[in-house]
Structure 1
């Protein structure tokens, strides 16, 4: 089992535990912030289960039907998870404004505080683990999961602070005010994740640092007079590079092909710097294209 699949399975189990604990505490105490956090954990579970499916599919090799593999399903999962985060933020806002309008009393604050401390510790451990796997694998799905649970970590901390303040001051509207702040932050945090996933689905070129490294390799070949139509994109952890190399018309095909193979090998070796596979396609041209 890959580290990515193991990470999504662990995050799913953690989300399930937190759902049960928070729902019970939220119902007993009547805290909208805890119930909102429980709903957020329920959405976390849905997202983590889909991420597990996405990673399982993305790890399958290319085939006759999917010639370039299924790597983009990871970006699709990131977009879906970002959407889940937005929905979670909207629901939290709704519950908070509803409580301000209708009002409600909190009960069993001691239990609520204990539950949120437990949730905070468990979520913090999960975030550290997911960050480790994301850094090791450079996997967009795990990065999305780590971001998702990082927002949970902050929201759980905010809920805990709100409960402590309510216990000290007796102002129960603090619960709803903190709920609004959590909802706004959760919705905002999803923007970057949605943007990154959508850009990958739209075949955005590789970032400037990777493009610079590729161009340096292409410029190093003295046999290549010039190059054009350099195109790049990423699908999952696979980087695709396509370029037209211009040679002198007098060069032998086998010699030009040997140079192209050498350049392809150097670009593929970039996987030592940036994790993932590199698929390089070169086209050999005997003259400059007409402008």
Structure 2
């Protein structure tokens, strides 16, 4: 099993445990903050399950229907995860405002504090593990999942602080006010996830730094006279590179092919943690100004 899939199994299991803990205490105590955290963990569980199946589908080999594979399932999963976070935040916001309007005191504050301490410790270990997997694999889905649980880590800490203040001061309005703050923080955290996923779905180019690396390989390659029509796009853990390379008009097809193979190898070496797909069009002269058709690769 791939490391990314193992990470989704771990995150799903942890989310299930947290849901049971927080939901029980949130319902009995009446705490909006704890209940909000429980709902968020329930969504974490759903999203982690979805991420597992998304990763499982995205790694399938190309077939007669999907010639380039199913790599776009990964950014699609990230976008869905971002919207799930946003919608759950809106629900938490609604519940918090309702509690302010219809004031009801909390119960079992001590139990709530114990549960949130346990939740904080468990989530901290999970975030550390997901960050390790995200850095090792550069997988967008795992990175989104790590960010999601990182927001949980901050919100759990804030909830724990609020519960401590409530137990000291007896001011129960701290709970719904904190719930409002958590809701806005969740929406703020979801925006980069949605944005990056949408960019990949729209075939955005890699980062300027990665593009500069690709151009450097082309500019330093011997035995070519230049290049043009460089096009790149990212799709999940895949990078697609299309370029027209200009050779000397007298070069043999065999030699031009060998040089193209070397270029492909250099491109793949730049992104060892990704699947790199290269399409090189071999030109005997610079026809960039004559080309009127678009490269659709």
What TM-score comes out, normalization by structure 1 length?
Answer: 0.97
Deviation at residue 223 of structure 1 after TM alignment: 2.2
Q: Alpha-carbon deviations, 1:212-234, whole Å to 9, x = none? A: 11111111223211211101112
- Tell me the residue number matched to 2:277: 279
Give distance in 1, aligned partners of 2:158 and 2:221.
Answer: 57
Deviates more, 1:184-193 or 1:204-213: 204-213
Q: Note the C-alpha offset of 1:280.
A: 1.1
1:14 aligned counterpart, secondary structure: helix
SS of the equivalent of 2:205 reads coil
Partner residue, 1:189:
189
* Secondary structure at 1:224 match in 2: coil
DSSP-derived class of the 2:64 partner: coil
Specify every segment of 5 or more residues in structure 2 that has no aligned partner in the other structure, as ranges.
290-297
* Equivalent residue number for residue 294 of structure 2: none
1:114-129 map, 5 Å: 114-129=114-129
Structure 2 distance, partners of 1:157, 1:276, is 35
Quote the residue 1:18 is aligned against. Answer: 18
CA distance in 1 between partners of 2:98 and 2:244 (Å): 61
Q: Which residue of 2 aligns with 1:229?
A: 229
Query: How many angstroms apart in 1 are the aligned matches of 2:108 and 2:261?
Result: 70
Cα offsets for 1:256-289 (capped at 9, x unmatched): 22221221121122134xx112111100112222
CA offset at residue 100 of structure 1? 0.5
Contact 2:228 2:288 in 1 (8 A): no
- Aligned ranges 1:236-255 → 2 under 5 Å: 236-255=236-255
- The runs of 4+ residues in structure 1 deviating greater than 4 Å are none
- What runs of 5+ residues in structure 1 fail to find an aligned partner? none
Q: Secondary structure at the match of 1:65?
A: coil
Partner of 1:211: 211
Deviations 1:151-183 (A, max 9, x none): 111111111111110111111000011111111
Identify the residue that residue 3 of structure 1 maps to in structure 2: 3
- Secondary structure, in 3 states, of the residue corresponding to 1:279? strand
Q: Distance in 2 between matches of 1:109 and 1:269?
A: 55
How far, CA to CA, are the matches of 1:143 and 1:268 in structure 2?
Answer: 22
Q: Which residue of 1 aligns with 2:173?
A: 173
TM-score normalised over the length of structure 2:
0.95
The residue number in structure 1 matching 2:146 is: 146
Task: Give the Cα–Cα distance (whole angstroms) in 2 for the partners of residues 140 and 16 of structure 1.
Answer: 23
In structure 2, distance between residues paired with 1:73 and 1:81: 12
| Structure 2 CA distance for partners of 1:233 and 1:116, relative to 1, 3 Å | same
1:66 is matched with: 66
The structural deviation recorded for 1:290 is: 5.3
State the Cα deviation string for residues 20-65 of structure 1 (Å, max 9, x = none): 1111101111111111111111111111110000010111122222
> Which residue of structure 2 lines up, in the alignment, with residue 163 of structure 1?
163
1:97 aligns with 2:93: no
Number of matched residues? Answer: 289
Q: Supply the distance in 2 between the matched residues of 1:81 and 1:286 (Cα, whole angstroms).
A: 48
- The 3-state SS of whatever aligns with 1:69 is coil
Cα displacement (A) at 1:250:
2.0
SS in 2 for 1:150: helix
Q: Which residue of 1 aligns with 2:293?
A: none
Cα distance between partner residues in 2 of 1:249 and 1:28: 80
- The secondary structure found in structure 2 opposite 1:196 is helix
